[in-house]
Chains A and B, each alone.
Chain A
Amino acid sequence: MAMTCDRVREYAPGYVLGALDTDDMIAVNDHLAACTKPHPEIDDLGGVLPYLGESLEPVEPPAWLRQSVLAAARADLVSRRRAARVSEVPAEPVPAVAAVAAPVAAVAVRPTALSVVAGQGWQPETDVIPLARARFSRQHRIVTWTTRVAAAVAVVVLAGYALVLQGDLAKAQKIHQEDTNINYVLTQPDTRTAVMVATDGSKASGLAALRPSGNVILRLYDLTPTTGDQIYGVWVSSNNGTPTKVGSFPVDDSGTGYLEVDNVPTSANLWIFVCKEPNANVTKPTGPMIVSGTVSL
């Protein structure tokens, strides 16, 4: 039903109290916005409302509420000013405030569910942040952030370099320890050795040291690096018998290989050979033989 002036007059009490159904509230609103005729009944009846609220006995709220309200207002003010600064062309005017508002963090704002509301509808007719100042601020931020990013990158690079150095140091220490071990074994009078020579035409070479106790140390050089599951498998065979796997090792870009194992079965002629195996699970030589040597006790 179309809203008429007569109906607005009829609905006025419910309208001013917000007690009409939603559709009727909207219809009355629309009519008042468009109607060219006066509707004094709205003001006549609506003017009563503030007195209804005023009829209540005043109640003193907690004292902290005042500080909370003011602190929230200051925080809102700071927030709006910051928002205005980051915008090169401020979309919203900001109020001219003689005193800079206190920092938000320095004011205890009682957290409330209703206190967080975006700054909307701010329309004071006052100063705006000057454009040059906004630009300077923006350039300053760019420089600051560029410096920060560069510093962060430098930290990452240095940290990475330190890790590389640390890795190299660990690797050098490992090789040193391996060399110490094999030098010690080689100085023992009962140690037997075997020169490991390439069998695949490569430059691979090395040395095997065998103790009567069955302790074997193998040091190889110029091996091609292993990839994926690949390993170098070390096999021994006594008197051309069935090869026995005694251990395995991977090889990195250094091309060096090292293995030290105990309880290797010894015999008068122990053939030691190394194959590049597809994985560590093989139970018999599968890959190409790389180097081999024979220890004569």
Chain B
Amino acid sequence: MRQVAAGEIGGLETIYDRYHTMAYALALRITAETGLAEDVVQDSFLGLWRNAGRYAEAKGSVRGWLLAIVRHRAIDAMRRQRAGIVLGEDADETLPASLTLPDIWPEVAGRLDAEQVRVALTVLPPAQREVIELAYFDGLTQREIADQTHAPLGTVKSRMRLGLVALREQLVAGDYATDRAAVPSSNGKKGVA
């Protein structure tokens, strides 16, 4: 990222080569349209390129940051498309604070592959997994999820919390408890268990 921040194309090439399939998979999952997904991926890498100076390594991995950008832009693209807005007319360069959360488990990331993450997701109860996926991949709010699933809003909130907690526990297993205390939180304070 330092290379990218210094305007070195080689740095962007490295990041692209490492994460492009992951970024494209996420964009395609959210947009369900290859052309739009390609636009989102290109825009996301350009967003990373242009905003590399803002990237703070202490707040997480490049992978997490890139995926947050891809997700944000893909959801934004879908909303614009639904609203009939031409894509790119008002592209927002900044990410909401909630989408620039730190990747707090870099050590975990090193030992988990995609298959293990998928397995962790499958152990979630379907209702919990559903609300998380509707929020993450479809960009729905809790209220919209409640409407779509015909579940009370309180139930949706509860499922979302339980699902995230369960998923975190699945992913971290026993490693998380010893790692997270050293990682700064999103508002600049140390996280505590």
Contacts and interface: CB of A to CB of B under 8 A. Distances in A.
A45 B186 contact: no
A61 interface: yes
A13 B160 contact: yes
A152 B167 CA distance: 71
Contact of A17 (B45, B109, B135): B135
Interface residues of B, number: 96
Interface string A4-41: 00000000111111111100010011001101011110
Interface size class of A (residues with CB under 8 A): 35 or more
Residue of B50, B75, B157 ringed by the most chain A CB atoms within 10 A: B50
A47 B168 contact: yes
A117 B114 contact: no
Nearest to B181: A40
Given A47-B101, A76-B50, A58 B22 contact: yes
Interface class of chain A by DSSP: loop
B99 A18 contact: yes
Nearest to A116: B88
Nearest to B64: A50
Given A29-B97, A38-B185, A52-B136, A124 B117 contact: no
A20 B157 CA distance: 10
B103 A98 contact: no
A57 B28 CA distance: 11
A152 B71 CA distance: 53
Interface string B57-81: 0001101100110111101010000
Contact of B53 (A46, A52, A124): A124
Contacts, number: 273
Given A69-B12, A70-B12, A115-B39, A40 B192 contact: yes
Interface in A68-109: 68-70, 72-74, 76-77, 80, 94-98, 101
A209 to B, nearest CB: 76
Contacts of B136: 17, 49, 52-53
B160 A48 contact: no
A73 B13 CA distance: 10
Contact of B101 (A14, A49, A124): A49
B101 to A, nearest CB: 3
A165 to B, nearest CB: 54
Interface class of chain B by DSSP: helix
Contact of A59 (B7, B21, B53): B21
B54 A123 contact: yes
B114 A101 contact: no
Given A19-B140, A126-B6, 19 more contacts: A16-B164, A17-B136, A18-B99, A21-B141, A38-B190, A42-B187, A43-B101, A43-B185, A43-B186, A47-B103, A47-B180, A48-B164, A51-B117, A70-B12, A72-B42, A112-B39, A114-B40, A114-B73, A121-B54
Interface of A: 12-21, 25, 28-29, 32-33, 35, 37-40, 42-62, 65-66, 68-70, 72-74, 76-77, 80, 94-98, 101, 110, 112-117, 119-126
30 contacts: A16-B164, A17-B132, A25-B96, A29-B97, A32-B187, A38-B185, A38-B192, A40-B180, A40-B193, A43-B104, A43-B185, A46-B102, A47-B104, A47-B105, A49-B136, A50-B67, A51-B112, A53-B70, A56-B26, A66-B16, A66-B17, A73-B12, A94-B7, A96-B6, A96-B7, A112-B39, A114-B40, A121-B51, A121-B94, A123-B5
Nearest 8 A-B pairs (CB), nearest first?
A: A95-B7, A123-B53, A46-B101, A58-B21, A114-B43, A47-B104, A50-B64, A113-B88
